[in-house]
Amino acid sequence: MNKQTQQEATLWCFRRWTRKPWAAFTGMCRFKIGVLSVAMSIVLLATPAAAAAQSVGGAPVPSVDTTLLDAVHVTARQTSAAGAVLQSVSQTRFLVDQKERAPLGTAEAVLRLVPSVDIRERGGKSTQADIAIRGGSFDQTMMMLNGIDFSDARTGHQSISLPVDIDLLSDIAILDGVAYPGALAGAVDFQTEPLFPRYLRARLEGGAWGYGYGNLSGAWTSDDGRLRAIGAASLRRSDGYRHNTDFWNVNAFSRVVYTARRAGTFDVQGGFQRREWGSNGFYSLKYPEQFESTRTGLASVRWSKSWRRLSLEAMGSFRLNDDLFEMVRDNPDSAAGGIPFNYHTTYASAAGLNAGYAWGEAGTSSLGVNLTRHTMFSTAMGHAIDNPRHDIWGLDGDKYPKSVSRDIASAWAGHRKDWSRGWIGAQGTFTHTPYGADGTFAAEAGWRPGKVVSLRASALRSMRLPTFTDLFYNVAIYHPNPNLKPETAMTYRLTARAEKGAWSGEGSLWYRRTRDVIDWEQRTGDREGDIAGHWYSTQLNRLGTIGGELTARYNGSSEGWLRGAMVSYGYLNSDMSVATDYISKYALDYMRHKLSAVMSVGFLRDFVLTLTGSVYDRVGSYVAVDDSVQGYSPYFLLDGRLSWEPRGVLSGGGGASSRGGSSRGGGVQIYIDATNITGTDYFDFGGLPMPKTWLSAGVSVTIR
C-alpha cells in the first residue's frame, strides 16, 4: 500500500469510526487503528467526536475537557465501552508537562493551580496534604491511580499516600460525576504513561533546610508496541524548615500493560511508599512534638477485551496502609509527660466486572458490579477483639486490641447516545452497605452549536460513608459518633467551553445540596454534656454550596517566546440551613476566592522562565495556640523556575514522545526553583505556618 492510499484508508476509517464506533474493531479498520494507535491518542481523540467516545467507569463519558497548565500537550485516551471500574459522567484533565519547565515538582503543586481544587498542606514539599473538590472535604474526595480507587477508609488524610512521583504522571483528571460511595464531591485520578517509548531518566535536587531529592525512572516498549512497562524509585528528605518538620519519603512504582493478540489487554500496577515526618502542630497546635510514620503498599490488575460491539473488563485491587502517630515524639509514657502512641493498619480490597455494548444508532449501554471490603485494626479505634491475633506494625509481639470492617456492594447500568452536535448520557448505581441500600445517579446532556463552542449540563446524586475516624476516634479531646449515617448530595452543573487555535476558555456554574453533613465541631461547653474546647464528630442538617469557575488558556509553541499562559478564578459560598454556635473543622472552612496565573517564556535559545502566582481567600475560623478565635486572611504566593536545556545534548535522536511532546524532552536540564518567592506568611490550616522562600536546584539527565 503506497503512502497516498494509506492516508485515504486512514481518513475513511476515522470517518467511519466517528459515525459508528464499533467500526474500529471490524474489517479494514482493525489493522489501521492498530498502526495509528499512538497518533490517535495524541491527535484524533482530542476532537469532540473522539472525546465523546470515551468512557470512565462502567458508563460512557459524554465529554473530556483538557486544561493547560504550562507548556502542556493536549491529549486524551480512548477506553473500551466497558470503561473502568468506576464511572464518571464528565471529567476535566490537567496535564503534566514532563519536561517540567514549571515549578511543579509535586502533584500537590499542580493541583494548587486548579480553580476547582483546594489543596491544604501541613508542610513543605508534599509532606502531608488534604485534597478537596468544590467546597467538599478531603473525606468526600476519592483518590484514584490509573482509574483504580485507592482511598483510605480510616481517614482521608491518608488517601493521598500514593507511591507515584510527578515524573511518571501524564495527567491528573478531575472527575465530576462518580456515582459511587466515597466521591461525594468528586474524584482525582492520577494517570501514569511513559514519557518516551524507551528512556532512562535520573534526577538530583538539593536546596535549603537540608532538602534533597533523587529519582530514577524509565520505560521500555516492545517493537510491536504490545508491551509497555514503566517504573520509578525516589527518595525525598529535609531537615525541616522549623522545629520538628523534618521528613523523608521513599516511593517505588511500576506499571506493565500487555496486549495479547487474542486474550485481550492486561494492565498491572504496584507500588510501595514509606514516609516519616515531624508534625509540629499538624493536628493540634498545642503539641509541637507530634510525629507520624506510614507505610503503604498497593497493587491492581485489570483485564479488558473487545469483540466487535461487545467489550468486557474485570479488575482486582488491594491496598495496605500502616500508620503510627505519636502525639509526643518518642514518648509514649504518660507518667513522663507523654501520650500513648496510636497504631493503625487499614486494608482495602476490591473486585469488579463491567460490560459494554454498542447498539449502533441507538447508542452504547454499559453495566457492572463491584465488591469492596474495608478492614481496620487499631490500638484506639474500632470494636474490642476477644482474641487478638493481628500483629501491631512496629511493635514486636503486641497484637491489635480493636478492629472494624465493612463490605460495599454496587451494581450500575448506564446508556449514552450521540448525535452530530450533541450527546446525552445517564447512569444509575445501586449500593448496599452496612447502612442499608441506597441509590446514586449521574446524567449529562451536551450540545456543540459549532466547531468552537460546546455546552453541557449535568446532575448528580452522590454519597460517602463515615470514615472509621469519624465513627471511633476517641482520644484526648476528640469524641467520635458511632451513630453517624452516610452523607448524600445533589449537584447541578452548567459548563460552556470555547476553543480556537492556541486559545481556549471555559466557564462553569454549579450548586450542591448536601444532607447529613459530617463534621468535627469544637463547642463552647454551653450544651449539656459538652466540654469546652473539645472536638465532637457530628451530623449537621443541610449545607448548600454554590460556585463558579473561569479559565482562559494559551498553548504556545514549545520553540516560541511565549510557551504557555493560563489565568483561572474560582469562587464558592456555603450556607448552613441552621444556625451554628461552634467552630467547624471542615464543612464551613473552605476557599471562597482563588485566582491563579501561569506564564512560561523562552529566551536566549535554551532558557525558559516559568512563574506561577495565586491569590487565596479562605472562609472560616480556627483556635490559635493561645485559645483565641481567629479568622483567615487572604495571601499571595509566587513560585518560579529558571531552567536551561541545551539542545542536542544526549537527545538520543529526534521524533515525538509518546505523550505528544517534542524531541527536546531528552537530554540534560539544569534548573533553579524558588517557592514562595515573596516570603509570604501564610497557612492552609489555622495557625500552622508554612515555609517562606524555599530555594532548590537540580539537574536531570534523560537518555533515549
Choose between 204 and 532: higher pLDDT.
Answer: 204
The CA distance from 272 to 295, in Å, is 8
Buried b (16+ CB within 10 A) or exposed e, 518-535: bbbbbbeeeeeebeeeeb
- Locate cell 487474542: which residue? 262
Q: What is the mean pLDDT of residues 375-379?
A: 96
The CA distance from 144 to 316, in Å, is 14
Q: With contact defined as beta carbons under 8 Å apart, do 467 and 399 qualify?
A: no
Q: With contact defined as beta carbons under 8 Å apart, do 685 and 671 qualify?
A: no
What is the domain partition of the chain in residue ranges? Answer: 1-35, 36-703
Q: What is the mean pLDDT of residues 226-235?
A: 97
Q: What is the mean pLDDT of residues 25-51?
A: 29
Q: With contact defined as beta carbons under 8 Å apart, do 625 and 687 qualify?
A: yes
pLDDT at 164: 93
pLDDT exceeds cutoff 60 at 44: no
Q: What is the mean pLDDT of residues 543-549?
A: 94
- Half-sphere exposure of residue 403, counting CA atoms within 13 Å on the CB side? 17
Average pLDDT value for the chain: 82
Helix ranges (H only) for 351-486 are 468-472
pLDDT at 657: 46
pLDDT at 622: 85
pLDDT exceeds cutoff 50 at 45: no
In sequence order, the 6+-apart residues with CB closer than 8 A to the CB of 282 are 122, 123, 128, 290, 292, 685, 688
What nine digits make up the cell of 23?
Answer: 467500526
pLDDT at 577: 55
Q: With contact defined as beta carbons under 8 Å apart, do 357 and 309 qualify?
A: yes
pLDDT exceeds cutoff 80 at 639: yes
* From 330-339, 366-375, 497-506, 648-657, the region with the lowest mean pLDDT: 648-657
The CA distance from 22 to 395, in Å, is 57
pLDDT digits (tens, 9 = 90+) for 137-187: 899 999 999 999 999 999 988 888 899 998 888 888 888 767 788 889 989
Q: With contact defined as beta carbons under 8 Å apart, do 481 and 493 qualify?
A: no
pLDDT exceeds cutoff 60 at 601: yes
- Residue 351: exposure state from Cβ atoms within 10 A (0-12, 13-18, ≥19): middle
- Locate cell 443541610: which residue? 542
pLDDT digits (tens, 9 = 90+) for 259-314: 999 999 999 999 999 999 999 999 888 899 999 999 999 999 999 999 989 999 99
Buried b (16+ CB within 10 A) or exposed e, 626-642: eeeeeebeebebbbbbb
* From 187-196, 381-390, 526-535, 623-632, the region with the lowest mean pLDDT: 526-535
pLDDT at 334: 87
Domain 36-703: top CATH class: mainly beta
Choose between 673 and 653: higher pLDDT.
Answer: 673
pLDDT exceeds cutoff 70 at 390: yes
pLDDT at 662: 41
Q: Tell me the β-bridge partners of 67.
A: 94
The CA distance from 220 to 225, in Å, is 10
Q: With contact defined as beta carbons under 8 Å apart, do 75 and 41 qualify?
A: yes
Nearest 5 degrees, angle CA 262-CA 265-CA 269?
A: 150
pLDDT digits (tens, 9 = 90+) for 479-531: 999 999 999 999 999 999 999 999 999 999 999 999 999 998 887 766 777 78
- Half-sphere exposure of residue 576, counting CA atoms within 13 Å on the CB side? 19
Helix (H) or strand (E) holding 51: helix 48-52
Q: With contact defined as beta carbons under 8 Å apart, do 407 and 389 qualify?
A: no
